[in-house]
Amino acid sequence: GREWALISRPVGWPKPEDFELREAPVEAPAAGQVLVKNLYLSVDPYMRGRMSAAKSYVAPYELGKAMQGGAVGVVIASNDEGVAVGDHVLHFFGWREYATFDAKQAVKVDPDAAPLSTYLGVLGMTGLTAYAGLLRTLSFKEGDSVFVSGAAGAVGSQVGQIAKLKGASRVIGSAGSDEKVKLLLEEYGFDAAFNYKTGEVHSLLKEAAPDGIDTYFDNVGGEHLEAAIGRLNRDGRIAICGAISVYNTTEPAPGPRNLARLIQTRGRIEGFLVGDHYDLQPQFVQEVGAWIRSGELKYRETFVDGIENNLEAFMGVLRGDNTGKMIVKL
Ligand code: NDP
């Protein structure tokens, strides 16, 4: 089977030369292990961080080794009594066609309950990120107005819709194309949305949120974050989920110049990691699963075919090629 390895650490935007697609042996499972044929691979913005050497909440990818990432596959050989051939599993050995690993690192998923790809997106890590960040970190409550950036992406599209379903007074989104803005307004029920590439974020946000914002779910950092601080209402909250606008910069990004506005607004900014919120998983799956089945909560997926296009799919996420969750289909 083929796998992607990182062979040099990218500086700035990753380049094809930093990676290698190579043939790797398909290993028979040892005692307690399974062999999985991957069907869907996740590509996520946080992977850019793992390509750098800097220590973070997950270890850097090791040079010369296969990269990792969320994946869903089917068990084709098992040496563990808890997992059977034919079972579908969610696991962390993506960026490759076949993976052999300990059965305890696999979580069984049901292909009849939901499409397999959704366990990587709306019913998986990105969905829980939206749910936990909005309800727990932002302490969202009925009547709050919500601004979310990256609003047509995997996390952002769920933040805006969950806020609407839970009684937000106004949901405002920003995204990088007119087509995405149209989707937010016409399909996802956002009250206002703008294409951040068409002007200065501060002015675009002011127009979209004439009464200011009570909460901001930040997926992008940079100019958006400063604009949100500038529009924050009394007792406003900001959740720092991601900062994709600075993931490929080679110089430290300038901080928001208006932090002192948090004094007059009694504002709060708090970062969070989805990994700390898996206690919410059962509640999340029940509530969000029901909204998806009823059609109240919508989602998109952007599929890229083939292991050979795994890197391009990842680059596409950084560029904004995706609407909703970006998935590699094998
Ligand atoms: P998305 O599906 O939102 O894809 C990333 C999107 O970012 C692109 O589609 C693009 O859309 C947008 N983007 C790229 N460059 C810029 C830029 N310079 N300014 C503004 N937007 C940009 O990814 P996810 O939903 O998976 O992740 C969203 C964010 O959440 C990321 O920052 C990620 O790192 C973070 N995250 C954090 C987690 C946590 O535990 N804290 C867990 C999961 C994700 P567009 O066309 O609109 O530019």
**ipTM for the assembly:** 0.99
Residue 17: phi and psi, rounded to 5, are -65, -15
Ligand 1 centre from 46 Cα, in Å?
9
Ligand 1 centre from 4 Cα, in Å?
22
DSSP string, 93-113: B-SBSEEEEEGGG-EEE-TTT
Measured from the Cα of 243, ligand 1's closest atom is 32
- Specify the pLDDT at position 252: 86
- Specify the pLDDT at position 133: 98
65 with 95: CB under 8 angstroms? no
Nearest partner of 146 among 164, 131, 132, 129, judged by Cα: 164
- Specify the pLDDT at position 253: 84
Distances (CA, A) of 216 to 67, 177, 230, 274: 33, 20, 11, 17
Ligand 1 centre from 45 Cα, in Å?
6
pLDDT tens digits for range 62-91: 999 999 999 999 999 999 999 999 999 999
Ligand 1 centre from 103 Cα, in Å?
31
Inter-helix orientation angle 281-294/125-132, to 10°: 100
Bridge pairing between strands 268-271 and 301-305? unpaired
Q: What angle do CA 9, 15, 19 make, to 5 degrees?
A: 60
Please list every protein residue whose CB sits less than 6 Å from any atom of ligand 1: 44-46, 126, 129, 150, 152-156, 175-177, 180, 219-220, 241-242, 244-245, 272-274, 317-318, 320, 322
pLDDT string in tens for the chain (330-residue length): 999 999 999 999 999 999 999 999 999 999 999 999 999 999 999 999 999 998 888 999 999 999 999 999 999 999 999 999 999 999 999 999 999 999 999 999 999 999 999 999 999 999 999 999 999 999 999 999 999 999 999 999 999 999 999 999 999 999 999 999 999 999 999 999 999 999 999 999 999 999 999 999 999 999 999 999 999 999 999 999 999 999 999 998 889 999 999 999 999 999 999 999 999 999 999 999 999 999 999 999 999 999 999 999 999 999 999 999 999 999
- Specify the pLDDT at position 53: 94
Ligand 1 centre from 189 Cα, in Å?
20
Mutational pocket test of ligand 1: of 52, 57, 155, 224, the residue with most ligand atoms within 8 Å of the beta carbon: 155
Residue 133 DSSP label: I
Token pair in block for residue 54: 């800097």
Distances (CA, A) of 227 to 17, 158, 199, 223, 257: 37, 22, 12, 6, 10
How many C-beta neighbours within 10 Å does residue 311 have? 22
What kind of fold does domain 2-121+300-329 have according to CATH? Quinone Oxidoreductase; Chain A, domain 1 (3.90.180)
Report d(CA 68, CA 48) in Å as an integer. Answer: 12
- Specify the pLDDT at position 152: 98
Ligand 1 centre from 153 Cα, in Å?
6
Measured from the Cα of 174, ligand 1's closest atom is 47
Return the domain boundaries, the chain.
Answer: 2-121+300-329, 125-275
Report d(CA 134, CA 216) in Å as an integer. Answer: 9
Report d(CA 125, CA 85) in Å as an integer. Answer: 25
What kind of fold does domain 125-275 have according to CATH? Rossmann fold (3.40.50)
